Amino acid sequence: MVDHDDELLAAVRDLTRTIEALQQELESTQRRPRLRPSPLRPPTPRELLAFTDEVAVPATIAVLETSVRALEGFQRALALARTERDVRDRTTEATSATSKRASELRQTTLSQLDGVLARLQQAASDGTLPADDGARELLTEARELRDDVDSRLRDVGADVDRQQIDRTESTDVVRIDVQEGRPDDLQNGVSPDNRGDPASRVDVDAELETLKEQYGDDEAENDMPDTASENADRENEGADENGETTDSDGDDDDVAGSDSES
């Protein structure tokens, strides 16, 4: 019992001393003046170097890497644009070459046909060409053939030009077609390509009329020799057939004789 009271008394004394110590500390803190916050100051070189090493350098590297990627993408876009332009230029050149070849072929073909028509006209004028329906049909067919070839070649050239215009319009480029020649020729329907060709002005109808007037009176006389010549040809053909029959009979007799001798 005595021991228990002594322990309790010792605990009360320790608690009293602790409370007194805390009270003294509190009183000393209240008497101490409050400290003001320190004013702003510039960073020291050490702090500046640490900030540069930790923040500024990585951020600069990231920005540079982003710029490099953007430049690489821009370079690829330029390469694609350059390739597309080269392909378009090659296509335009090929189309122009095809159109040029078609035009040259048209000019060459028309020149040859015009030369043939000119020779026929000259032959008709000189009287070396017989004045009959065959000659008229020949001139008419030659004129129709020339017109047909001219029309087809014009269609081919128009198709090539239309394709070239479509490709040009697809690239948003405005193109103006300019035709050479005088306005009067264009209004009258005269093509600039055929304006300078003298053979293109050959009037086949006039030549036919000339042939009719020149050889109209001789048609009956020309028909009679033709009939006589046809009869003579028929007689000659009959004689040839008879001769062939005779020869074949003689050959048969020779064969029969040789068989009998054997």
Residue 153 lies in a domain: yes
Q: Note the pLDDT of residue 75.
A: 93
Residue 156 lies in a domain: yes
Residue 9 lies in a domain: no
The answer to whether the pTM exceeds 0.85 is: no
Q: Note the pLDDT of residue 65.
A: 95
Residue 159 lies in a domain: yes
Residue 147 lies in a domain: yes
Within 10 Å of residue 176's Cβ, how many Cβ atoms?
4
- What DSSP state is assigned to residue 216? S
Total domains, the chain = 1
Q: Among 79-93, 109-123, 172-186, 198-212, which stretch is predicted with the lowest mean pLDDT?
A: 172-186
Q: Note the pLDDT of residue 11.
A: 86
- Please determine, for residue 40, whether its predicted confidence score (pLDDT) is greater than 90: no
Q: How confident is the model at residue 152 (pLDDT cuts 50, 70, 90)?
A: confident
DSSP reduced 3-state for 114: helix
- 23: tokens are 């009270």
- Mean pLDDT, to the nearest integer, of 65-84? 93
Q: Note the pLDDT of residue 128.
A: 62
Residue 146 lies in a domain: yes
Give the model confidence (pLDDT) of 178-230 as tens digits.
Answer: 454 444 444 444 444 444 444 444 566 666 666 666 655 555 454 444 444 45
- Please determine, for residue 76, whether its predicted confidence score (pLDDT) is greater than 80: yes
Domain limits at 166?
Answer: 133-170
